[in-house]
Amino acid sequence: MPGLSEMEYPVKIANLKKSYGKVKALRGISFEIAKGEIFGFLGPNGAGKSTAMNVLLGLLQPTSGSSSILGESSSELSPETRRKIGVVFEYNNLYRDLTGRENLEFYASLYQVERKRIGQLLELLSLAESADRRLETYSKGMKQRLLLLRALLADPEILILDEPTGGLDPQSVEIIHQVVEDFRSANRTVFLASHFMAEVERLCSRIAFLNQGEIVTIAPPDFLKKYYGQKSIAVKLESMSEDRAEACRLELREILSSDISIDINKNNNIIEIIIPLEHPELGFWIDRIRKNFPVGEIHSREASLHQVFISLAEEQEAPVLEN
C-alpha cells in the first residue's frame, strides 16, 4: 500500500544524476509533483528534460539518486502502475500502414479498453472524421493528437508528456491544451516538458526551470515571468539590401546602448531593434531611430522565454519558491 505522501505526490525525484560518458545530463535534481497539478519542465534543448523523464519511467538507469512514480520506485514499476501512466514521447511510434482507429484498437486490445471509449476519445481530440484513414495521410498535428489519445486509452492517473506540441499547427496545439486541462481538472496529474513559455504559462501551476542538467528555480509561471521576463518594444525597419542592412546595423550599434539588442533577419534583411519597456530613455531612442532610419513598424512584445533564459544566466543566485 502506498503511504499518504505517495498519494499526494505521485512523482518524487531526489538528487538524481545521470551521465552519458563524460556528458553530465543531470547534475542532481530534486522535486516533487503534487497530485492534481500540471507541473512544467521548462528548458532549452539539451537541458536534460527527456533524460529525467526516461529515468522516471524506468527506461534509463540513473547514475545516482532516486525517483518514484505513483509510490513505486522507477526501476521496479509493476504492470498495474505502468497502466496508470500515460506517456507521449518525442519518438513514439505509430503504424503508418494502419488507420488511426486500427492503431488505437491494437493498443486497446492490450489494455482491454472498450471500443466505446475509443469513439469518445476520437471525438474529444477531433479525430473522429479521420479515424478510418491510413496514418500516412495524417498531418503531424493529427499524429500527435492520436498519440495523446493512445496515452489516454487506459484511463491513466498521470500523464507524462515530452514536448507534445513542438512544430504543430495552432489548432492541434489548442486541442491538446484543452484535453490536458480537462484531464487535470479531474484531480489527475500531468508532468509536461516544454520549451514554450506560453505553453507552460497557460497550463502549469508550477514550473521547474532546467538548464544544463540543473534546476535553476521552481516557481509558478507568473512569478517567473514577472521576475525574469521583461516586456519590450520592437522597432522593425523596412526591408533593404543586404549591404545597406549591415551598414545600418553597424551604425545603430554605434549609437544605441548595449541593453538594446539589434537583430537582422537574414531572409528579408529586416532589422529589428528590441528596447526593454522599462528602459529609462525608451522614448528618446524611438524618436531618434525614427528620424534617422526607415522604420516599418513598432509594436510591443511579451516577455519571451529567451529573455528569461538570458536573465537566468545572469543571475548568480536564483530565488526558489517553495510551495
Which one of 9, 37, 40, 48 is in contact with ligand ADP (CB under 6 A)? 48
Relative to beta strand 295-301, strand 85-88 is: unpaired
Report d(CA 146, CA 118) in Å as an integer. 11
Which one of 2, 8, 14, 23 is in contact with ligand ADP (CB under 6 A)? 23
Report d(CA 234, CA 251) in Å as an integer. 18
Q: Is 207 in the site for ligand ADP (CB under 6 A)?
A: no
Q: Is 50 in the site for Mg ion (CB under 5 A)?
A: yes
Whole-angstrom Cα Rg for the chain? 23
Nearest CA-CA partner of 301 in 171, 166, 198:
198
We find the least distance from the C-beta atom of residue 60 to ligand ADP, in angstroms, to be 8
Query: Of these partners, ligand ADP, Mg ion, none, which one is at the site of residue 46 (CB under 5 to 8 Å by kind)?
Result: ligand ADP
Q: Is 51 in the site for ligand ADP (CB under 6 A)?
A: yes
Binding segment for ligand ADP (CB under 6 A), chosen from 18-26, 30-38, 217-225, 253-261, is: 18-26
H or E stretch including 163? Answer: none
Q: Is 284 in the site for ligand ADP (CB under 6 A)?
A: no
Which one of 2, 14, 20, 222 is in contact with ligand ADP (CB under 6 A)? 20
Binding segment for ligand ADP (CB under 6 A), chosen from 48-56, 118-126, 141-149, 216-224, is: 48-56
Task: Read off φ and ψ for residue 15, nearest 5 degrees.
Answer: 50, 50
Q: What is the DSSP letter of 10?
A: S
Closer residue to ligand ADP in complex, CB, 43/58:
43
CB 193 within 8 A of CB 163: yes
Binding segment for Mg ion (CB under 5 A), chosen from 48-56, 69-77, 139-147, 242-250, is: 48-56
Nearest CA-CA partner of 213 in 18, 14, 13:
18
Report d(CA 270, CA 268) in Å as an integer. 5
Residues found near ligand ADP in the complex (CB under 6 A): 20, 23, 25, 43, 45-51
Residues found near Mg ion in the complex (CB under 5 A): 49-50
